Amino acid sequence: MTMTKRFFLGLAAGTALATLPMTAFAQDWQPTRPVDFTIMAGAGGGADQIARFVQSVVEANNLTNRPLVPTNRGGGSGAEALLHMNGARDPDHTLMVTLNSFYTTPIRQEGLGIDIETFTPITMMGVDPFVLWVHKDSGITDFEGYLAKVREMNGEYVMGGTGAGQEDSIVIAYMSGVYDLDIKYIPYDGGGAVAKDLAGQQIMATVNNPAEAKGFYEAGDFVPLLAFSDERMEAYPDVPTMKEMGHDFSYYNQRAIVGAPGMSDEAAAYYREVFGKVYDGEEWQSYLVSESLSPLPMDEAETRAYWATQVANHRKLLAEIEG
């Protein structure tokens, strides 16, 4: 893993040098006022926790000469944050912490007029996998048992999630599609609320990020059945993946930092260095492990290509759900 990371970092530095002869001067650019650090979600969720963690690492290590000012702009499933970024008056001092509504919201609400390809890639901090959870009292211990139960309940099997078009609903919709499941889906306004109602058995199963379910898993209340990651997760070595079930599907929540459209190359280079340091730091590396995030370092060009595939994938997935 370290090899890959070094390789990518080297690659990033290499491309930066090749494409930007001004890099030497770029180091001279520094923020001249506090930096707007917009969070694409409400207080307390996964994206918020990550943003505040990153901010405190920057603060503790004195990585910027001006403070990052985190502001939650989670309204409209991230539409508020996207509009704020799009109309940023000072793009050089405007950053955002994303999740996947970065892709889905502009697709679902075309009226917003957001084109994420105009945004400036800064740093990909990692991707957050999804796992299928049930309560231990359900007696279900594996995915086959889950499938049998859902079929037996005949449309009365209740799952909770964060709402139509949100990350978990995409996963659930895919799963229901390939296994022909009839699930009653109850939307909540955050992953935490979903996990709580699984713990209280108000609902029967969820698709949550590991960080949201971790406390209950460690207490033995939650049982993970299936991971939607590319490979088996280190934290849950006995849990099979959707790919092992023979379906080529994986789904992650993107945890990235992006700049406003129109950010200057100098400013972007500065922030890439700052958040690159955060990424390499011990604090973030141990956060990746403890919260079961997967590292996915990439440079600017790779990020842009990744965005393009993600947008295309989401367009297809959303069309399948809503079509």
Partner 1 sequence: MEVLSFLTSGVLTALEPINLGLILIGVTIGLFIGAMPGLGSVNGVAILLPITFLVPPASAIIFLAAIYYGAMYGGAISSVALGIPGASTAVATTFDGRPLALQGRASLALVTAALASFVGGTVATVFFTLFAPLLATVALNFGPPEIFALMLLAFATFVGLGGDDIPKTVFSICFGLVLATVGFDTISGEPRLVLFDIQGFIRGIGFIVLAIGVYGIGEMLWTIEQTRGEITTTNPKMTAKGLASDAKEAVQRGWKGTWIGSILGFFVGVLPAAGATPGSLMSYGVAKMLSKTPEEYGRGSPDGVAAPEAANNSASTGSMLPMLTLGIPGSPTTAILLGGMVMWGLTPGPRLFIDESEFVWSLIGSFYISNFAAVLINLAFIPLFVWMLRMPFTILAPLIFVLSIVGGFAASRSMHDLWLIVIFGLGAFFLRKFDYPLAPAVLAIVLGPIAEPTLRQSLLLSSGDPSIFFTRPIAGPITVIAIILILLPAIKMLRGKRRVAAD
Binding residues vs partner 1 (CB under 8 A)? 42-45, 48-49, 52-53, 55-56, 59-60, 70-71, 73, 75-77, 79-80, 83, 108-109, 112, 158, 162-166, 184-189, 192-193, 195-197, 199-202, 211, 214-216, 218-219, 221, 286, 290-291
Residue 5 CB, shortest distance to partner 1, in Å, is 22
Residue whose CB is less far from partner 1, 13 or 193:
193
CA separation for the pair 274, 208 (Å, rounded): 30
Residue 251 CB, shortest distance to partner 1, in Å, is 17
Residue 176 CB, shortest distance to partner 1, in Å, is 16
What SS3 state is found at 25?
A: helix
Residue 241 is given by DSSP the state B
CA separation for the pair 169, 121 (Å, rounded): 26
Torsion of CA 59, 64, 66, 70, to 10 degrees: -50
Residue whose CB is less far from partner 1, 197 or 273:
197
How many Cβ atoms from other residues are within 10 Å of residue 27's Cβ? 12
CA separation for the pair 173, 177 (Å, rounded): 6
Residue whose CB is less far from partner 1, 118 or 290:
290
Residue whose CB is less far from partner 1, 129 or 165:
165
Q: Going by C-beta distance under 8 Å and a sequence separation of 6 or more, which residues neighbour residue 125?
A: 50, 54, 255, 256, 257, 275, 278, 279, 284, 293
Entry field: residues in the chain? 323
Residue whose CB is less far from partner 1, 204 or 239:
204
How many Cβ atoms from other residues are within 10 Å of residue 250's Cβ? 17
Return the residue matching tokens 């000012």: 69
Assigned token pair, 280: 């390499």
Residue 303 CB, shortest distance to partner 1, in Å, is 26
Residue 83 CB, shortest distance to partner 1, in Å, is 5
Report which of 228, 248, 244, 201 is spatially closest to residue 294, judged by C-alpha positions.
228
Q: Going by C-beta distance under 8 Å and a sequence separation of 6 or more, which residues neighbour residue 148?
A: none
Residue 23 CB, shortest distance to partner 1, in Å, is 30
Residue whose CB is less far from partner 1, 32 or 202:
202
| CA-based end-to-end distance of the chain | 40
Residue whose CB is less far from partner 1, 17 or 69:
69
Residue 160 CB, shortest distance to partner 1, in Å, is 9
Integer angstrom CA distances of residue 113 from 4, 37, 75, 83, 174: 37, 22, 16, 9, 28
Residue 268 CB, shortest distance to partner 1, in Å, is 23
Residue 130 CB, shortest distance to partner 1, in Å, is 18
Residue whose CB is less far from partner 1, 199 or 242:
199
CA separation for the pair 43, 113 (Å, rounded): 26
Report which of 220, 216, 198, 219 is spatially closest to residue 207, judged by C-alpha positions.
198
Residue whose CB is less far from partner 1, 6 or 184:
184
